[in-house]
Amino acid sequence: MLDPDMTEGALQETYLKRIKKLNQIGIALSSEHDKHRLMEMILTNARELTEADAGTLYIVDDEKQEVHFPLIQNQSLGLFLGGQGQPSADLFNPIPLYDEVGQANKQWVVTNAIHGHKTICIDDVYQTTDFDFSGTRTFDAKSGYRSRSFLTVPLINHENEVFGVLQLINKNGHQGEPQSFNELDIELVESLASQAAIALNNQRLINDMKQLFDSFTRVLATAIDKKSPHTGNHCRRVPDATLFLAEAVSKSKHPAVKDFSMSDADFYELKTAAWLHDCGKVVTPHHVMEKSRKLETVFDRLELIKTRIEVLLRDAEIETLKQKLSSSESSTEHGQTTKQQRDILLNEYAFLQKLNIGSEYVTDDDLHRLAYLTELSYTDQSGTHVSLISDDERYNLSIRRGTLNPEERQVMNDHMVATLEMLEQLPFPKHLKRVPEYAGCHHERMDGKGYPRGLTRDEMSIPARIMGIADVFEALTAKERPYKEPMPLSQALMIMSRMADEGHLDPDLFEIFIQEKVYLRYASIHLSPEQIDQPDITRILKQKESS
């Protein structure tokens, strides 16, 4: 009941003030986005609204079927646990919702409120036998506190599930003694609990959706990495390199970025883009992604050439034996000729093996030698003319650098077109609107010669340029590529320095990458010890300045 000594006018004024306070609390709750600050705001305002000396906010753990104490406040004892900058409330053991045989645990007032979906108001916990308050008595004995009045209100979501409890203790009386919570207190706290339930449940739903979305992006990235063991973990490592550099750039005083900074939301947006930057590779044919040799399709066609060479060797031996039978020349001379032919063909096969790897640049002399080999042929049993090297094999072996021919490289490049098409179809919320831009620009160049859109430096945002550097650095230092040895830091950074000089990478961002030792932070996590050498930073930066 309300204080009987108060006049009707005073009661009306008190009621209006507290309703106004409740409305203000509701507005504040709807605008708070941090879960921990939100919980602290709920408990603190509930105490102020009812003049409660102490209170606890409980949260239900559905998976473990128990109730936790994330937030505890006691004004008289100066005890504040679980709030911002406060000690954790984990010292209190969670309360089980069910006993050993699976029966609902209703012996505690908190669990009773949860199972019964009801508010419980107790005038004096020492005068009731309805619930087990042994824990409260133990706390009082140790602290010298006197717990008396309790108001326990469940937090119920839109699915009629109790996911938390708001408990207030000891309403402050006019004479300094705790008094019972009255009907207005119950009405206001139940209203606040309803608003708090909506706010907390919205936070939980938002977090659940965020976790689902983050998990989806990682599943997609994992699927792409699994598609090719040669580029495995690329989609996992690029986000690290991207965010490490983004943090350094955001803090840097470099003239080119002195006015640039990133918020937590900006970092999250960039991280999402980094995880999705190669999502278009899901449409890239497996045999193109996995082409570790120039002649590789479903299998390495160099084996076909090896078989043809063996046929040529057999034919040469047969011809030698025929000549022995029909001529008077010594068998030694015929044997020497056969051995010379065999040595020549095996030497040419060794040359083709080396050419097939794609790790070295193909010179004009190599191409002339390849043209000569293409002219070699034999006739099979059906009379068909068979070239040692087919036109398509010659075309692929003529690739100057790497293992992909122009058509296959275009197929690989088209993964960027697919990435943009996929991401631009997704209805990203406002705080993720730039994900397609960031993810779709990591193969663009500062001089406009990149792909898929040929953007220049001025047409790209700083985060998009950051991702370009991260992607190149990961590719250069990756350990799984079959066509190259794991590259040490010194070599990778010298190559990147030249790329910055040539208009491929942003020179200012690369300078920050070097000066802030972003490369070393990444290397300590992802590179082998033998790759982490001592780059000549002075030489690397001088190379940039001299260009």
Bridge partner list, 81: 72
Q: Which of 16-25, 48-57, 112-121, 375-384 has the lowest mean pLDDT?
A: 16-25
For the cut 60, the answer to whether the pLDDT of residue 328 exceeds it is no
For the cut 60, the answer to whether the pLDDT of residue 2 exceeds it is no
For the cut 80, the answer to whether the pLDDT of residue 442 exceeds it is yes
Q: What is the mean pLDDT of residues 161-176?
A: 88
Average pLDDT of the residues of the chain: 88
Q: Which of 383, 402, 421 is the last residue before a domain boundary?
A: 402
495 and 518 in a single domain? The answer is: yes
Q: Which of 369, 402, 435 is the last residue before a domain boundary?
A: 402
163 and 277 in a single domain? The answer is: no
Burial category of 14 from C-beta neighbours within 10 Å (exposed 0-12, middle 13-18, buried 19 and up): middle
For the cut 80, the answer to whether the pLDDT of residue 196 exceeds it is yes
For the cut 90, the answer to whether the pLDDT of residue 221 exceeds it is no
- What one-character DSSP code corresponds to residue 385? E
Answer yes or no: is 220 within a domain: no
Closest to 269 in 3D by CA, of 407, 119, 435, 52 = 435
Q: Which of 402, 425, 451 is the last residue before a domain boundary?
A: 402
How far is the CA of 477 from the CAs of 294, 473, 534, in angstroms? Answer: 22, 6, 15
* pLDDT tens digit sequence for 248-298: 999 999 999 999 999 999 999 999 999 999 888 888 887 787 788 888 887
Model confidence band, residue 335 (pLDDT cutoffs 50, 70, 90):
low
Model confidence band, residue 78 (pLDDT cutoffs 50, 70, 90):
very high
20 and 147 in a single domain? The answer is: yes
200 and 249 in a single domain? The answer is: no
Residue 425 Rama label (left phi>0; alpha psi -120 to 50; beta): alpha
Cβ 109 vs Cβ 150: under 8 Å: yes
Answer yes or no: is 217 within a domain: no
398 and 411 in a single domain? The answer is: no
Answer yes or no: is 1 within a domain: no
- What one-character DSSP code corresponds to residue 337? H
Q: Which of 75-89, 223-237, 414-428 has the lowest mean pLDDT?
A: 223-237
233 and 257 in a single domain? The answer is: yes
107 and 236 in a single domain? The answer is: no
282 and 173 in a single domain? The answer is: no
Bridge partner list, 151: 121, 168
Q: What is the CA radius of gyration of the chain?
A: 37
Q: Which domain holds residue 316?
A: 302-402
Indicate the pairing of strand 95-96 with strand 377-379: unpaired
Look at residue 282 in the predicted model and tell me its pLDDT. Answer: 83
Answer yes or no: is 247 within a domain: yes
Query: CB-side exposure of 2: number of CA atoms within 13 Å?
Result: 12
Indicate the pairing of strand 120-122 with strand 79-81: unpaired
**Two structure tokens written together for 362:** 């193909």
376 and 414 in a single domain? The answer is: no
Element (H, E) at 539: helix 537-546
Rounded to two decimals, the pTM is: 0.72
Answer yes or no: is 353 within a domain: yes
* pLDDT tens digit sequence for 361-373: 899 999 999 999 9
Residue/partner pairs of 186-191 with CB below 8 Å, 24 or more apart: 186/119, 186/121, 186/151, 186/153, 188/18, 188/19, 188/22, 188/49, 188/50, 189/46, 189/49, 189/50, 189/119, 189/151, 189/153, 190/119, 190/153, 191/22
Q: Per DSSP, which regions of 476-541 are E strands?
A: none
Q: How many domains does the chain have?
A: 3
**Within 10 A of 235 (CB to CB), how many other CB atoms are there?**
25
| Percentage of the chain modeled with pLDDT above 90 | 53
Look at residue 88 in the predicted model and tell me its pLDDT. Answer: 86
